[in-house]
Amino acid sequence: MAAALVANVLYSTGFVLEKRALAGMPPLSAAQPGRALLLLAGRPLWLCGATALALGFAAQLAVYRTLPIAAAQGLFLSGLVLLLVLSSVVLGERPSSRERRAVAVIGLALVMVVSSLYESTEEISRSAPPGILLALCLPTLAAGLLLYAAAERRARRRHRQPTTGVAYAVALGLLYGVSSLAIKGISGHLGTSDLQGSVPALLASPYPYLLLLTAGSGLVLSQTALQRCRASLIVPVCSTVTCVFTIVSGTIAFDEPLPEDPLRLLLRIGGTALALTVLLTLPRHDAATPHPKEPCHEA
């Protein structure tokens, strides 16, 4: 739980620093990844944010070695509260009352998931069959990229209604969901006593390649979305999608049993379902006109 708290602080800080750095940069385009990476590499503040996110990934490895994947994802949602505070104080973003209520309900969902961990002795799996893993991950990656591309096409239309960026966030959440499964698998290999001997087995598995693919594509896509839309909306929606996908797909792929106790099972499943319900009810369009210096160009 301590590692999860550290990961949450690093993630929230990293996203806010990146968003702050993106505000003064020329418009990024996912269709020009090379140009985007060169622009990002020239911003020290953005590099600090990216470093914080990378350290957050490292903290995730420790979490996945000690907690079931479903429980770990529930703890990661707690970072949404800190993210909203930082986005308000540092970025001056003002979530709507509906969005604030949504985050409060997500907080309740977090309490439910954490409560299901009390004195729990659930089995922690270290690896997943490659066939099942790829059958879950590859269609998800394709769906995320297609959804992002559709949002980009709609963004180029004229006379469209200003939007919050939900489509971008859902697409990114699917990509990072696959990334979470890859991190879970890597943590299982690196958590063995024979660390040097585990490297060949790790390289023979799909995990490092899934992580490289999602990290590379997610880097450019997430920065484009963050530049165009509010971090206080993009990150919570992305995190919720990542959490739900990881819990469902990870439980299947890694064959980690759900709690046998009926109350724990109700809390675990109920908390996940509650978070997903909040996601589905979030508004897709902003009531107010976006800030002129930081428009949201997603539909």
DSSP string for residues in 211-261: HHHHHHHHHHHHHHHHHHS-HHHHHHHHHHHHHHHHHHHHHHHTTPPPPSS
Mean pLDDT for the chain overall: 80
Selected residue with higher pLDDT from 288 and 15: 15
Sign of the Cα pseudo-torsion (216, 155, 82, 256, in order): negative
pLDDT band at 289 (very low <50, low <70, confident <90, very high): very low
pLDDT > 60? residue 272: yes
pLDDT of the residue at 297: 47
pLDDT of residue 283: 57
Q: Environment class of residue 16 by beta-carbon count within 10 Å: exposed (0-12), middle (13-18) or buried (19+)?
A: buried
Q: Count CB-CB contacts under 10 A for residue 228.
A: 22
In the chain, which ranges are E strands? none
Q: Find the helix packing angle between 44-66 and 166-190, rounded to 10°.
A: 50
Reported as a single tens digit per residue, the pLDDT across 127-174 is 888 899 999 999 999 999 999 998 888 877 655 555 557 889 899 999
CA distances from 91 to 21, 231, 299 (A): 10, 9, 23
**CB burial readout 29-49, b (16+ within 10 A) else e:** ebeebeebeebbeebeebeeb
> Model confidence at 231, in pLDDT bands (50, 70, 90)?
confident
121 pLDDT more than 70 = no
- Give the burial class of 81: count Cβ atoms within 10 A of its Cβ; 0-12 exposed, 13-18 middle, 19 or more buried: middle
pLDDT at 248: 81
Question: What pLDDT is attached to residue 51?
Answer: 94
Residue 200: what pLDDT?
84
Coil, strand or helix: which one is 127?
A: coil
288 — pLDDT class (breaks 50, 70, 90): very low
For residue 84, report the phi and psi dihedrals to the nearest 5 degrees. -65, -40
Which letter, b or e, does each residue of 150-159 get, where b requires 16 or more Cβ atoms within 10 Å of its Cβ? ebbeebeeee
Identify the pLDDT of residue 118: 61
